[in-house]
């Protein structure tokens, strides 16, 4: 059994979770300890006792440890990329890219640890000096999903530690392998006992115990809307700080003047790569009349040509879904789409390959209406709809007609429409002639409406969640 890391000690549990390869269900990657409430308590106690020394340590200490973690991740990138592809199901290039991103995030925050600045402000009172400084929040819990099993833990843990917090990671049950490897790396990088703990286990036990505990000052959560809402209510009710990243139903508009090849490429990448299991996936494609038929024909051809297969096979473009639950969801929404009267262009079925895995054909529905459930609810798979708009204004209105607001894109050759879109799309991230998925690691990430809650993640703005501000007044005579 791969153990949890509790307050500096590697600890087995009485329960374990099997980590299964979604490309080959006969391949058990390993058994991972499933923590209970006592381990959560011990991790919190360890973090609280480590906090005074860690939060006042020289930023050089924190910077060096984060930089070492980044180096160690890079040194193991081939092995970790393989593990990630094996446990999550994204292709090897996608998985290795994610591992490299995790390393870059650690290196970025190694720099941020040294760039903590404050303000010195002239007081309105003579002889008084005012300083605005930032301090660590305390003990931060990170609850993470399975779809980016190393990058998301990295973008929560690295800033938490950089700014002097202690951190406890609760990864998704489906993908404990990368989280466990990250814990090993942080220990090797020199993180002191208790400053970082790993508590793998079920969300309703371990995640809930973290959310409930007064020993957790702040919680950063990425996952589904219902769980996020529950976590928010629990943490805010006891006065804790909370940050949520949840779903998306991201639109990609294709205007008449778009470059057809570029638009098809953006749609294929955004909708189907990483098996569509990204909260930034382009799940709603909105087209104007002058390009609609050409676009749908070209996209259908490109979609049918995608090679679905084992995530670790060299020629695979689309890996399997991550779980049986994910597979059931795709099949259910295919039935819903048909029953709602949408036209299935391609896909919509599980694929039987030479090994037993969660393979699903990339799926496109045309002639869909905004009120259909397939246009309103997150399917989280290789599943996209096409809506036909009358013109740009109509397309923009359709794009904004959603409860979500994470990412949104437009393909156009028109500067006027691109500028208008950037200003009027209701989303946290906007993309012009780029897929809705695929973001940089050194700038803010986050959404609006039901997609997100609280300050942005990543980039320089990450400090807003992971620090508290103090305003210091001093009579200088």
Q: Catalytic amino acids? A: 245, 279
Question: What is the spatial distance between Cα 386 and Cα 403, in angstroms, rounded to a whole number?
Answer: 18
d(CA 418, CA 329) in angstroms, rounded, equals 34
Query: Smallest distance from the beta carbon of 338 to ligand ADP, in angstroms?
Result: 24
238 near ligand ADP, rule: CB under 6 A: no
How far, in whole angstroms, is CA 124 from its chain's centroid?
44
Q: Which is nearer to ligand ADP, 210 or 429 (CB)?
A: 210
Site for ligand ADP in 184-213 (CB under 6 A): 203-204, 207-208, 211
Q: How far is the CB of 219 from ligand ADP (least distance, A)?
A: 9
In the numeric block, which tokens belong to residue 107? 């290196």
Report the residue from 39, 173, 217, 245 that binds ligand ADP according to the rule CB under 6 A. Answer: 173
Residue 224 to residues 47, 69, 172, 182, 355, Cα–Cα distance (Å): 27, 29, 12, 23, 30
Is 143 among the residues that bind ligand ADP (CB under 6 A)?
Answer: yes
Residue 169 found at the interface with ligand ADP (CB under 6 A)? no
Residues 276, 243: Cα–Cα separation, whole Å: 24
In a 10 Å sphere around its CB, with 0-12 CB exposed, 13-18 middle and 19+ buried, how is residue 439 labelled? middle
> How many residues sit close enough to ligand ADP to count as binding (CB under 6 A)?
16
Taking only Cα atoms into account, the Rg of the chain, rounded to an integer number of angstroms, comes to 23
* 440 CB neighbour count, 10 Å cutoff: 11
If binding is defined by CB under 6 A, does position 215 make contact with ligand ADP?
no
Q: How far is the CB of 373 from ligand ADP (least distance, A)?
A: 17
Closest approach, Cβ 202 to ligand ADP, in A, equals 6
Q: What H or E segment, with its residue span, contains residue 254?
A: strand 250-254
Kindly tell me which of 96 and 326 has the beta carbon lying closer to ligand ADP. 326
Which residues lie closer than 8 Å to 263 by C-beta, 6 or more apart? 254, 291, 295, 411
Nearer to ligand ADP, 204 or 470 (CB): 204
Identified binder of ligand ADP from the candidate list 3, 22, 70, 145, rule CB under 6 A: 145
Which is closer to ligand ADP, CB of 207 or CB of 309? 207
Residue among 179, 51, 184, 59 at smallest CA distance from 110: 59
Please identify which residue in 105, 139, 172, 244 interacts with ligand ADP, judged by CB under 6 A: 172
Tell me: does residue 144 bind ligand ADP (CB under 6 A): yes
Residue 202 or residue 455: which is nearer to ligand ADP going by CB? 202
Footprint on this chain of ligand ADP (rule: CB under 6 A): 143-145, 170, 172-173, 203-204, 207-208, 211, 223-224, 227, 230-231
């Amino acid at each position: 059994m791969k153990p949890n890391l509790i307050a500096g000690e590697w600890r087995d549990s009485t329960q374990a979770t099997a980590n299964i390869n979604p490309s080959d269900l006969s391949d058990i990657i390993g058994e991972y300890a499933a923590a209970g409430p006592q381990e959560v308590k011990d991790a919190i106690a360890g973090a609280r006792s480590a906090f005074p020394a860690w939060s006042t340590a020289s930023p050089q200490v924190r910077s060096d440890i984060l930089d070492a973690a980044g180096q160690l991740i890079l040194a193991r990138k081939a092995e970790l990329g393989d593990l990630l592809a094996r446990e999550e199901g994204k292709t090897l290039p996608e998985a290795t890219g994610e591992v490299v991103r995790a390393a870059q995030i650690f290196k970025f925050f190694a720099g941020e640890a040294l760039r903590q600045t404050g303000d010195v402000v002239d007081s309105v009172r003579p002889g008084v000096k005012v300083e605005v400084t930032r301090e660590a929040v305390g003990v931060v819990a990170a609850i993470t999903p399975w779809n980016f099993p190393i990058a998301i833990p990295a973008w929560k843990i690295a800033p938490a530690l950089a700014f002097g917090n202690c951190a406890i990671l609760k990864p998704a049950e489906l993908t404990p392998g990368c989280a466990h490897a990250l814990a090993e790396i942080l220990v090797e990088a020199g993180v002191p006992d208790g400053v970082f703990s790993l508590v793998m286990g079920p969300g309703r036990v371990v995640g809930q115990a973290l959310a409930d505990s007064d020993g957790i000052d702040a919680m950063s959560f990425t996952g589904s809307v219902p769980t996020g809402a529950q976590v928010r209510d629990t943490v805010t009710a006891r006065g804790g700080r909370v940050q949520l990243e949840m779903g998306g139903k991201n639109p990609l508009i294709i205007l008449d003047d778009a470059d057809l090849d570029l638009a098809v490429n953006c749609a294929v990448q955004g909708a189907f790569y990483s098996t569509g299991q990204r909260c930034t996936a382009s799940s709603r494609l909105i087209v104007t009349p002058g390009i609609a038929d050409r676009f749908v024909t070209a996209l259908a051809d490109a979609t049918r040509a995608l090679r679905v297969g084992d995530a670790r096979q060299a020629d695979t473009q689309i890996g399997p879904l991550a779980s049986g639950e994910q597979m059931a969801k795709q099949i259910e929404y295919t039935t819903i789409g048909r029953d709602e009267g949408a036209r299935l262009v391609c896909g919509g079925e599980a694929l039987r390959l030479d090994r037993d895995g969660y393979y699903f054909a990339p799926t496109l529905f045309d002639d869909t209406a905004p009120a259909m459930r397939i246009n309103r609810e997150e399917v989280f798979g290789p599943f996209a709809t096409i809506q036909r708009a009358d013109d740009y204004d109509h397309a923009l209105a359709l794009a904004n007609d959603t409860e979500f607001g994470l990412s949104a894109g437009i393909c156009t050759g028109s500067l006027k429409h691109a500028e208008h879109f950037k200003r009027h799309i209701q989303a946290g991230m906007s993309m012009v002639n780029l897929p809705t998925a695929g973001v940089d690691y050194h700038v803010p990430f986050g959404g609006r409406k039901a997609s997100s809650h609280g300050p942005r993640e990543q980039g320089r703005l990450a400090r807003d969640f992971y620090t508290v501000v103090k305003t210091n007044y001093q009579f200088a005579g």
